[in-house]
Structure formats: C-alpha cells, structure tokens
Amino acid sequence: MNELLEIIRIHRNFKCCVGCCWCANADCCAHEVYVESPPGVLVGTVRQDYWRGHLTLRDATGQDILKALGPCCICNGPLCCCCENKFTLFTRDGQEEKGAIYKQYAGFVNEAFTNVEKYTIEFPIELTVQMKAVALATLFLVNFMYFAGRKNEQTGADTACDILSCLC
C-alpha cells in the first residue's frame, strides 16, 4: 500500500534577498527549487535567471534542459478574466516551444474571496519522468513567485487587478 509513500520532494532554501530582479543571476538572490525523487536523490533544479520571468530547468547534473519564459506583466485578480498568464517552456537554446504552464482564471468568486488557483501544465511526452517532476516543480515555483500571498491583508481579497513585475 502506497498511502504514505513520499515520491517527490520539492524544497526551496531561504535566501535573504530573493526576488530582486536586478540581481537575480546572483546565487544569493535567485529563486531556486530542488527536486528529489525519491527524497534524498536529486533529479533536477529550477532556477531564476536574470529577470523574474526567466527560469531554467536543469537535470541532476546541472545541465540546462528547458527554459521557461513568463510574460513581462503578470495579471492577477478577480477582474483579470481576459488576461493569459502563460509561462512558455522552450528548448535550452530558446528556439523551439516545448510546452507551457498556464495560470487560468478561476472565476470571479474564487479569485476574489478564496485562495483557489487553477493551473494547466503541458510538456513533451518524450521528457524523462525526472524532468517531468522538475516541470511540475516549475509550476509550484511560478505560483510562489507570482501568485501566492498576494491577498490584501485587511480584507483577505485580491485587489481588483494587480499588474505585477512590469519593470522586471
């Protein structure tokens, strides 16, 4: 029975200045997650490169496998039903689109009054199981970097339409 068997562990180390887009290429400032499967065995990493919307998916040896490129401006909130937040997965050279991560609009009530978020991820079937786990970790990192914790502290609701990271 596999009820309590941990198969993937995704962890992010604390970094004091994480998220600053101007020094994101520095080790001390870049968002980065490590993917282990089974726990204790590194299968890959996802790391922010240069700007907030640029992520690199690497295998266990540190070799770049895919790049994720997000939109210049992130649209988030209950009134942002027409915005598409697409993080495109490209080959390591950036020439060929291989998949995408989408944050989908969850509906006005869900977006305004709950923490419900809706994502879709697409990746090539020929990707190894380990790199599929790294792609899934990319989805969680995108959620953490852009969409988690964006609620108004007094009301608990999102602002009408937050446009984030337009300068980064």
Does residue 168 belong to any structural domain of this protein?
no
Does residue 32 belong to any structural domain of this protein?
yes
Does residue 92 belong to any structural domain of this protein?
yes
- pTM summary value: 0.80
Does residue 82 belong to any structural domain of this protein?
yes
Domains contained in the chain, number: 1
* pLDDT above 70 for 154: no
Q: Which domain holds residue 25?
A: 9-145
Query: How distant is the alpha carbon of residue 48 from its chain centre?
Result: 10
Taking residues 103-120, report their average pLDDT: 76
Does residue 20 belong to any structural domain of this protein?
yes
Does residue 50 belong to any structural domain of this protein?
yes
Does residue 75 belong to any structural domain of this protein?
yes
Please return the burial class of 111, using the count of CB atoms within 10 Å of its CB with bins 0-12, 13-18 and 19+: buried
> Phi/psi at 124 (nearest 5 deg)?
-65, 140
* pLDDT above 90 for 58: yes
Average pLDDT score, the chain: 79
Closest CA to 8 of 132, 147, 160: 132
Does residue 163 belong to any structural domain of this protein?
no
